[in-house]
Amino acid sequence: MTILKALELIPDWRVRGRCLYPLHTILGIALVAVLRGCTSYRQIAHFARTQAGWLRACFFPDLGKTPSHDVFRNVFVQMDPDLFCGVFTLWAQGLRPSAPGDHICLDGKALRGAARPDGTIPHVVSAWSELGSVVVGQIQTDAKSNEIAALPELIRRLVLRDCIVTIDAAGCQKGIARIVVEEKGGDYVLALKGNQGTLFEEVRLLMEELARSGSEKLLRSEQTDKGHGRVEVRRCFVTHWVDWQEDGDRWAGLKSLCMVESERTVQGKGTTVERRFYISSLQADAEAMGRLIRGHWGIENRLHYVKDVDFGEDGCRARSGHSAMNRSTLLHVALNLINRARPEDIGVKAFRQQLSWDPGLSAEVVCA
C-alpha cells in the first residue's frame, strides 16, 4: 500500500459539502512539499500553487485551484492526531523487513518548539526499526512524565514476534516486560537506573563483584574506538545467573543481567569511566548484547537528530491545537520514504535537496 492510498483511510471529520479539497489531497500535497524542502504552511501553499501542473500530472488529477496556507494550517490544527498515527502505524508496519530478529528501539522526544504557555512540552514516543531504518509506530503524550503510561499502548500496537525491544530507564517496568514477552512474543533489553532502586543496587553490586573477582559466571567483550583526540574502550559484561533474585520471577522472561563500562580518554582532559546496567530476556553473549545496547542509540542519531537538524523540528513554533503532533507524524512519513529510497552514501539532507531538483525522483519516492 502506497502512502497516498494510506492517507485515504483517515476519516474526514469536516462538514461534508463545505470542503473544496479532499483530506487525503491536502495531506498528500503537504507530504510532497515537505519531502522537497518546505517547512511552513505558507511554503507548502506556495509550493502547491507553483507546482500545480506537476501535482495534477503525478498524483491528483482532479486538483483544481490549490489550497491556501490557511487550509493546510486548519487541517493540521484540527485533525485528531490519533487518527493520523493509527493510519501511519498501519502503513509503516508494512515497511519493516520480514526477517526475524528485528531490533525495535523505543524512545521519547520533546517537541520543544511547541512549548505551551504553561511551560509544558508535548512529547512523541516513537518506535524505530534499526534493521529497516524506519519509524514503525508512534504515540503522543502530554509530558515526559507520561511516557511510562504511553509505552504499553505503543507496544501493543506493534508486531513484535521474534523481535528485540530496547528501552531506556523510563521503560524499565515489570508490566512492560510482561507485555513484550507474554503478549507480543518478543524479547527485551531494558536500561536500569534509580527508578528501580533496590534492583539497581543489587545488579550493580553483583556485576561489579563478578567483574572484580573474574568469575566464570561472567561473559566479557571489549571494543576500542579511536579518533578526534580521544580513545574510548567499551567493555560489556553479561551473566545469566539470575536465580539469586527473590522476585526474579516477577520480571517476565528475565534471563540475563548486563553491565557496560565505558572508559573514555580525551587528550588534555584525562580519563572518565561510566557504568550502565541492563536486564534482558535474552540469553545472549556479551558481544551480541553490546551490539544491541549500542544499536539503541540509532533512534537518537538517525531519528531524533535528523528531525531536529535536517527537518528543523525543534525550531518549529507550530503549537496551536494538534499542529505539533500531526506535523511530527508527517515528518516520520517523509523520513521513512527518504530512508527507503536514498543510497547509503547520501545523507538525508542531501537527498532532500536531490528531491527538490528532480521532480521525477520525487514522484518515484512517493508512489513506491
Range 282-309 burial, b when 16+ CB lie within 10 A, else e: bebebebbbebbebbebbeebbbebbbe
Contact between residue 255 and residue 282 where contact means Cβ atoms under 8 Å apart: yes
Q: Are residues 199 and 278 in the same domain?
A: yes
How many helices and strands (H and E) does the chain possess? 15, 9
Q: Are residues 262 and 323 in the same domain?
A: no
By CB neighbour count within 10 A (0-12 exposed, 13-18 middle, 19+ buried), where does 368 fall? exposed
Contact between residue 147 and residue 126 where contact means Cβ atoms under 8 Å apart: no
Contact between residue 171 and residue 106 where contact means Cβ atoms under 8 Å apart: yes
Q: What pLDDT sits at residue 160? A: 93
Contact between residue 84 and residue 13 where contact means Cβ atoms under 8 Å apart: no
Asked if the structure places residue 305 within a domain, the reply is no
Strand blocks (E) in the chain: 103-110, 123-129, 134-141, 164-167, 187-192, 218-227, 230-239, 256-266, 270-280
Q: Are residues 198 and 247 in the same domain?
A: yes
Contact between residue 130 and residue 295 where contact means Cβ atoms under 8 Å apart: yes
Asked if the structure places residue 38 within a domain, the reply is yes
Asked if the structure places residue 63 within a domain, the reply is yes
Residues 248-301 pLDDT 10s: 557 899 999 999 999 999 888 889 999 999 999 999 999 999 999 999 999 999
Grid cell, residue 19, equals 470542503
Q: Are residues 199 and 276 in the same domain?
A: yes
Last-in-domain residue among 265, 283, 301? 283
Q: Are residues 328 and 279 in the same domain?
A: no
Asked if the structure places residue 71 within a domain, the reply is yes
Q: What pLDDT sits at residue 116? A: 78
Q: Are residues 261 and 338 in the same domain?
A: no
Asked if the structure places residue 35 within a domain, the reply is yes
Q: What pLDDT sits at residue 145? A: 62
**Structural domain boundaries, residue 258:** 194-283
Instruction: Over range 225-236, report the average pLDDT.
Output: 88
Residues 86-122 pLDDT 10s: 999 999 988 887 767 899 999 999 888 888 777 788 8
Last-in-domain residue among 257, 283, 309? 283
Query: Which of 27, 171, 9, 35 lies closest to 94 in space, CA to CA?
Result: 9
Asked if the structure places residue 296 within a domain, the reply is no
Q: Are residues 24 and 68 in the same domain?
A: yes
Contact between residue 186 and residue 165 where contact means Cβ atoms under 8 Å apart: yes
DSSP state, residue 134: E
Asked if the structure places residue 356 within a domain, the reply is yes
Q: Are residues 232 and 275 in the same domain?
A: yes
What contacts 201, CB < 8 A, 6 or more positions away?
A: none
Q: What pLDDT sits at residue 268? A: 80
Asked if the structure places residue 313 within a domain, the reply is no
Last-in-domain residue among 283, 310, 335? 283
Instruction: Over range 16-39, report the average pLDDT.
Output: 94
Contact between residue 186 and residue 163 where contact means Cβ atoms under 8 Å apart: yes
pLDDT category at 247 given cuts 50, 70, 90 is low
Q: How confident is the prediction for the chain on average, in pLDDT?
A: 91
- CATH label of the domain that carries residue 232: 2.20.130.10
Split into its structural domains, the chain has a count of 2
C-alpha distances out from residue 349 to 40, 135, 308, 339, Å = 17, 17, 11, 11
Amino acid at 203: V
Query: How far apart are the C-alpha atoms of 274 and 248, rounded to whole Å?
Result: 26
Contact between residue 312 and residue 69 where contact means Cβ atoms under 8 Å apart: no
C-alpha distances out from residue 164 to 2, 168, 238, Å = 27, 14, 17
